[in-house]
Every structure is written in C-alpha cells, then in structure tokens.
Chains A and B, each alone.
Chain A
Amino acid sequence: MAEREKIIDELRLSYEGLFDVNELYLAIDKWFRDKGYDKRELKNIEYVKPEGKFIELRIMPWKKITDYAKIEIKIRMQMSDIKEVEVEKDNHKIKLNQGKIQMVFDGFLTTDYENKWEGKPTYVFLRTLFDKFIYKGYTAKFQSQVAEDVNHIHTTIKSFLNLYRF
C-alpha cells in the first residue's frame, strides 16, 4: 500500500455572515484547476430545514508531483442555517446567502501511490531507506509544497469570504 503522510492536520476556518455558496464552491474548484489538481468530490449533502439549508461537502483533489509522490488536499465543509437574502450593492439588488461555515483542511503527501515498492519486505525496507536518507531533500521539498498549497487555498478562501464583509 502507498504511504500517506499527514502534513497539515486540521487547519480550520470559520465564518458567519453573507456569502454566495455557489461562488465559493466554484472559487475552490477554480483554485484547484489552476494549480493543476484533479477533481475528487467525495460527498455533497444538502438538507433543506426550516431554519435554513444545511450543506456538507467533502472534497479531496489530488495532484501527481512525480511518478512516486502525489499531493492530496482534503477539505471538509459544513454550512448551516443558509438562507437566501437580498442585499443592495451600488444601487443594485443582488441575491446572496447568509449563514455559518466551518471548514477543515488536511494536507497529505502520498508516496509510492502505484504500489511499485510494496511487493516484498526488502522493497519496503529499501523504500524507507531512500525516503529517509537518500531522497531526504526531495521528500522535504514535497512536504513543504503540500503545506504551501494548503495554506494558499486557506488564505484564498479567507480573502474570498472577507470580501463579502465590505
């Protein structure tokens, strides 16, 4: 089996106020597309409740860095009490959503995703040896790339949501 290392563990983001759910969803999609990630949407839940909609999303886009390593970013989103509201901006009425968002980000570095080094215990030993000592520089570079990407998407979403405050 491939080895999956958690580089970013539960980086959180909370927001309450005005925003556009669909715009947010597409902004996240666009970020991943621009960065060369492949889309993977694991779950999309929407419940219509009297107090507003409840939306839960679980996405896990991934990107191959080399034939040996790939990055996976897992985002769990929970939006509650989502209501549709009309606001006036520059003398124009626009439809937005109001509610709460909770987001959790995890970043993973998956190595040997094609399971080429898993056939025999000797291979596993050699692979670990390579990862820890010979390939140390590369592994560290990959790990920092995961952290960088997770922090970047986190900041992008934060800025995106902050725009609705003004």
Chain B
Amino acid sequence: MPEYALPTEIVKFKGIFDMDLLYRSMRDWLVRREYYFEEPTYKNKPNPLGGVEDEITWDCWRKETDYLKFWITIDFHTWEMKAIEVIEKGKKKKMNQGRLTIYFNARVETDYQHRWDKTPFLIWLNNIYERYIIKPEIDNIYTDKLYYYVLKLQNLAKECFKMEAKGSEYGDVW
C-alpha cells in the first residue's frame, strides 16, 4: 500500500526538564485526538559515567477516512538523564536533567484496509484512483493536515521544555 511520508521534525534539548510532564502531555494530546497509541520500544540503559540512556518509540495512528490512515511515529532518545530536585515557587519538585532528542515522523497510509489489492484489476484501478482522482486531496488536504498536527505536537514538546523558540502563527491552520 502506498504511503506519503512527511519531512522529519527534530527537537533537541539539553538542560532541566520534567520528563513526566512531557510524557503525559504528549500522550494526552494524542489520545484526545483519537489516536491509537502504542509503545513498541522502551530501552533503559544505565551509564557507568552517570545518568541513564533511554530510547522510547511511540507508534500512533488514526483512521482519517475509510481509505486514509494517519501515522505519527515519535522517537525519544535521552542521554545522561538524572533525577534532580528543584525548588519552584518555594516548593520542592522532581525534575530531570540531561540531553534529549525527539524525532517526529509522520505519514499518510492509503488503502489500509487492503480492499484494492485483491485482484490485478483492482490494483490498476487503485493506481488510477490515487494518481489522478484523489491525489490533489491527499497532497493539499490530508498530508497538510497531518503536518500541521505534527507541528502542534512538536510545539507542545517545546512548551514542556520551556524553549525560547516556540509558538506558532499557524495555530488556526487545521
């Protein structure tokens, strides 16, 4: 089945942040938007020099129409992660310190129900359908919509890190 991949977005951060908040906020965001959510990878490696290295992968998908499915794959990779205690507004709070990279990958999958790949004629018909009939909609509506969703999710991660270069003037797009 054909897929339309979107460009990879990368967010890197080094400093103090709340991993728990990031994890919960992003997961809630996806669940609220009716994404099916699974975590196929969770690796945790202690580093002898201090801290831990984590590798987490999330695969999230949503049936957009009967023919199209949105996929968002998020890879988290952390290094030198330590749990620390900070005082925020007079209260003690558990935070994390370390380095983290998040890769956001997204794609639109077509014919996810495999209804068009049963006979050579249907495959040929699907080819025509996708190349000439539905192509403008996939290009201009669905991939665009998914891309702006990913940007919103990416912005949420930036908010959790309290990064300087955050926010968007495209907030009302999709």
Question: What is A's interface to B at a CB cutoff of 8 Å?
Answer: 21-22, 25-26, 29-30, 32-33, 38-48, 53, 55, 57, 79, 82, 97
Contact = CB atoms under 8 A, between A and B. Distances in A.
A42 B165 contact: no
Nearest to A53: B164
Contacts of B9: 41-42, 44
A79 B10 CA distance: 17
A25 B7 contact: no
Nearest to A30: B169
Nearest to A45: B12
B103 to A, nearest CB: 11
B169 A29 contact: yes
22 contacts: A21-B164, A21-B165, A25-B167, A29-B167, A32-B169, A33-B169, A33-B170, A38-B147, A41-B151, A41-B154, A43-B12, A44-B10, A44-B154, A45-B13, A46-B12, A46-B13, A46-B14, A46-B164, A47-B14, A47-B15, A55-B163, A97-B164
Contacts of B161: 46
Interface string B157-174: 010010111111110000
A40 B8 CA distance: 10
Given A39-B170, A47-B12, A97-B164, 17 more contacts: A21-B164, A25-B165, A25-B167, A29-B168, A33-B169, A42-B7, A42-B8, A42-B10, A43-B10, A44-B10, A44-B163, A45-B10, A46-B15, A46-B161, A53-B164, A55-B165, A82-B164
B66 to A, nearest CB: 26
A48 B154 CA distance: 19
B113 to A, nearest CB: 27
A55 B19 CA distance: 20
